[in-house]
Structure 1
Amino acid sequence: MGQAGWKGLLQSAFDYKTEKYVIAKNKKVGLLYRLLQLTIVLYLIVWVFVIKKGYQDTDTSLQSAVVTKVKGVAYTNTSELGERLWDVADYVIPPQGDNVFFVITNLIVTANQRQSTCAEREGIPDGMCSEDHDCPAGEPVRAGNGVKTGRCLRVGNSTRGTCEIFAWCPVETQSRPRKPLLRDAEDFTIFIKNYIRFPKFNFSKANVLETKSKDFLKSCRFGPNNHYCPIFRLGSVVQWAGSSFQDIALEGGVIGIHIEWNCDLDRAASECHPRYYFNRLDDKHVKSVSSGYNFRFARYYRDSAGVEFRNLMKAYGIRIDVIVNGKAGKFSIVPTVINVGSGVALMGAGAFFCDLVLIYIIKKREFYRDKKYEEVRGREGAAQEAEAKALEQGQTEEEQQEGERQEEQPQTLPQSSSWKGNGSVCGKLPRSARTSALKHAKANVQQLQSLQTVGT
């Protein structure tokens, strides 16, 4: 880049650009501009202010507490347990209600286990053996039930057997349930009390109807038109989650109860209502060895001789997860100004887009570009520009005069020595050109006269 280029670049750094408003009489671009304006206004009013409530300050830091209780009884009569009545202390784990609890619907019981030695259950790879050295003493059986004693137990003349272990014997019964044990659990009721608070606005509420009647919670049931009754029938919860109670009671599953609080605090507090959603959280469509939900627990006893024994129970059932979320909003001038300013900025973006269409895309873009952009100089720059234009105009006039003289010269050459200038032709020329042409003609006449004298 030469010196002149660097000088121009340096001078351009001190240029200032100001807006120039040009009214373009172009119906297509004008229609496009109005459509963009209408779209932005509708977006700002409908989406930002009506739907999203952009004029409100929001609080999403919801503080929540959940208290749960389950009520109901069930009767069973099995060979392992005999006749038994099940109440809430038997089938709810943990007994203290929280936002996550478990309701037993099925059991596999291994009764009267005592700590002694017995054969490991077949089907466990690390418990299989052929000789005693396959069962090193003191080594626990991986994925098994006890610790190896060093003996390999074989039945009859079989070459393969299982290791003897020290464990709770007999080992756990390995079988899959065929039908749910607590079929009456479908009519159990769940009490879910939820307290919420939005700390930014110091707003608190609960999902229970504010009443002093003691019979309200004993008689009401939750329904589409009764959101302030927190008593849910277990079978209905499973149904609302899209499952069959008998299927989920057989092998277990996980149900989510979602409580959502979306509160518009510009309205009365009574208009802030909880909304409930139910869905099954485990994958009910995939059947595999890990399908359902189960865990093990034991009940311990001592016999008359003081020997400890237990009943091992593999429990299947329904795990309930209560999930609470929400937000609250209230009018504030700050988000209102921010969203209005964003709308105004979008208006400018619409005008910018139409400018691009006007000066770069349509057919008459060069014409509109020349009208939109104009260079304006200061007094010194204007004087220099005027001087440059005057010089350029003077050079142009001289070139025109020279061209006119060359065109007139053949016409001024006479065929005889008695030529006289034609005043009518010179009268049509400009004054300066006419004077120059007359001088040139006189010089030619004098030259011709000298030539004639020499010839004579």
Structure 2
Amino acid sequence: MAGCCTSVCDFIVEYDTPRIVLIKNRKVGVVNRVVQLAILAYVIGWVLVWEKGYQEFDSTIGSVTTKVKGIAITNSTPLEEHIWDAADYVIPSQEENSFFVMTNVILTKNQVQGRCPELPNERTRCKSDIDCASGYYNIHSNGVLTGKCVKYNEEVKTCEIFAWCPVENDTVIPKPAILGAAENFTVLIKNNIAFPKFNFSKRNILTNVSASYLKSCQFNRKNDPFCPIFRLGDMVQEAGQDFQKLAVQGGVMGILIEWNCNLDQPPSKCVPKYVFRRLDNKNFGETISPGFNFRFAKYFRNTNGTETRTLFKTYGIRFEIELFGHAGKFNIIPTMINIGSGLALLGMATILCDIIVLYFLKKSNYYKEKKYKYVEDYELGIESETSYGATQNSGTTN
């Protein structure tokens, strides 16, 4: 216990100070310079130049609005001849950071509330009224059972329901897609961004363009990368997808707008970069409930006062727009912090070489003796020198 206390006391009252020892060893010297060069390359090349460690950064904030244009004409049952414009196929007309374009539809016209046979399946087929429990329904039903078993066609009987009749039959999806011409529709994407820390704002419609240019231009990554008007088919193609296949059951596409700006350069150099991605699962055969669809209805009232509706089961492509990025500008504080951190890292070279010299070389004990010098208390050293001098003088006198 006493020895332990002595060690603790010695540790408390001891003080160490660096001592410079010049070791002439080629291997260790080469290792030292290589490590120093590697650290300098990391600090200067990676931190300061590549990662722009001399700048402070701010993340972007912004807004996105869209406007889709294009017309298509169809002439197929049950639609007959029909012209489609943006008011028909963009549903709803405005969304935040997204838009939906209808590409396919199952149409059920002239529905009225009444009684009609349910679609045939394992739960709805019947032989007599006993098989149809009056008042029963579930989430998959088109209506409420009336308790009767009626003919669906000449071969099949199903339970009668109270519902919007005739009921929708969505077992067969139109193929090819009814609005396959949507491939040629275009969308204008207006994007405003700001970096509040630097009081900097900009939009993706460049300041030097004219109204006539916007009416005629179309985004092309090679020839016209700054036009804000995009063809739907081109965006899907850049994502590596086939528009006509995607249009049958719909899907979800991502439009990524990246603003990475170096504000030490002129503002004209701050421009957006567009990337297009398919976001949903494209393997329809391996996916339950694939694609993207929803239902809506348009309601009418006949001259006799009866309410009717046309039911749309709509398939299409939902485009999600994501805005991200950052801007950097020179600032002395991060510059000095990164330079200081780099200088501190240079000490790693000394530590590594010390480990090699003191623990792995054959002459490690010799180097330890040269590197470390143990000095006793200063006052004890004076007393020893005084005693030694007195002894010498006494011997001389004698």
Residue 282 of structure 1 is matched in structure 2 by: 280
Over 3 Å counting, the alpha-carbon distance change for 1:157 and 1:101 in structure 2 is closer
Structure 1 residue 70: Cα displacement: 0.7
Q: 1:301, 1:309 within 8 Å by CA — same for their partners in 2?
A: yes
Shift of residue 210, structure 1, vs aligned partner: 1.6
Cα deviation for residue 161 of structure 1 reads 5.3
Contact conserved, 1:105 with 1:181, CA < 8 A, in 2?
Answer: yes
Residue aligning to 2:166? 170
Report the Cα offset of residue 370 of structure 1.
1.8
Q: 1:27 to 1:157 in 2, by over 3 A?
A: same
Change (3 A) 1:78 1:385: farther
Within a 5 Å distance, the mapping from 1:291-302 to structure 2 comes to: 291-302=290-301
**Residue of structure 2 equivalent to 1:196:** 193
Specify the alignment match of 2:39 in structure 1: 40
2:23 aligned counterpart, secondary structure: coil
The residue number in structure 2 matching 1:93 is 91
- Which residue does 1:76 correspond to in 2? 74
Gaps of 5+ in 1: 390-456
Report percent identity of matched pairs.
48
Among 101, 113, 116, the alignment partner of 1:115 is: 113
Aligned-pair Cα RMSD in Å: 2.5
C-alpha offsets along residues 353-406 of structure 1, whole Å, 9 cap, x if unaligned? Answer: 1111111122221211221122111233336778999xxxxxxxxxxxxxxxxx
Which residue matches 1:270?
Answer: 268
Provide the residue aligned with 2:394 in structure 1.
none
Displacement, 1:52? 0.5
Q: 1:141 — aligned with what? A: 138
> In structure 2, how many angstroms separate the alpha carbons of the residues matched to 1:278 and 1:186?
15
Larger helix share, 1 or 2: 1
Which residue of the other structure, out of 207, 210, 215, is the alignment partner of 1:213? Answer: 210
Q: Is 2:151–2:158's contact at 8 Å kept on the other side of the alignment?
A: yes
Tell me the residue number matched to 1:400.
none
Q: Residue 149 of structure 1: SS of its match in structure 2?
A: strand
The alignment covers a number of residue pairs equal to 386
Structural mapping, 1:45-444, within 5 Å: 45-60=44-59, 62-96=60-94, 98-123=96-121, 125=123, 127=124, 132=129, 135-153=132-150, 162-174=158-170, 175-211=172-208, 213-224=210-221, 225-287=223-285, 288-382=287-381
Counterpart-to-counterpart distance in 2, 1:71 and 1:259: 21
User: Which secondary structure state, in structure 2, belongs to the residue aligned with residue 21 of structure 1?
Assistant: coil
Alpha carbons 2:204, 2:228 under 8 Å: kept: yes
- Whole-Å Cα distance in 2 between the matches of residues 164 and 261 of structure 1? 59
1:422 match: none
Deviations along 1:72-112, whole A, 9 cap, x unmatched?
Answer: 11001122122110011001111125421111111111111
Q: What amino acid maps onto 2:304 in structure 1?
A: A
Rounded to whole Å, the distance in 1 between the matches of 2:144 and 2:63 is 45
CA contact (8 A) 1:124 1:143 kept: no
Cα 1:4–1:247 change in 2 (3 A) is closer
**TM-score normalized by structure 2?**
0.90
| Structure 1 SS opposite 2:341 | helix
Whole-Å Cα distance in 1 between the matches of residues 350 and 148 of structure 2?
A: 90
* Structure 1 residue 132: Cα displacement: 4.5
Say which structure, 1 or 2, has more relative contact order (CA 8 Å, 6+ apart). Answer: 2
TM score, norm. by length of structure 1: 0.79
1:445 aligned residue: none
Q: By how many angstroms is 1:344 displaced?
A: 1.3
- Counterpart amino acid of 1:271? K
- Is the CA contact 2:115–2:161 (under 8 Å) kept in the aligned structure 1? yes
The answer to whether the Cα contact below 8 Å between 1:69 and 1:97 also exists between their aligned partners in 2 is no
How far, CA to CA, are the matches of 1:51 and 1:240 in structure 2?
29
Amino acid in the other structure paired with 2:231: R
SS in 2 for 1:180: coil
- The alpha-carbon distance between structure 1 residues 30 and 124, as it changes in their structure 2 partners (threshold 3 A), is farther
Query: Contact 1:131 / 1:152 at 8 angstroms: preserved in 2?
Result: yes
Separation in 2, partners of 1:156, 1:86: 34
* Rounded Cα–Cα distance in structure 2 between residues aligned with 1:20 and 1:128: 96
Alpha-carbon distance between aligned partners in 1 of 2:134 and 2:218, rounded to the nearest angstrom: 60
SS at 1:18's partner residue?
A: coil
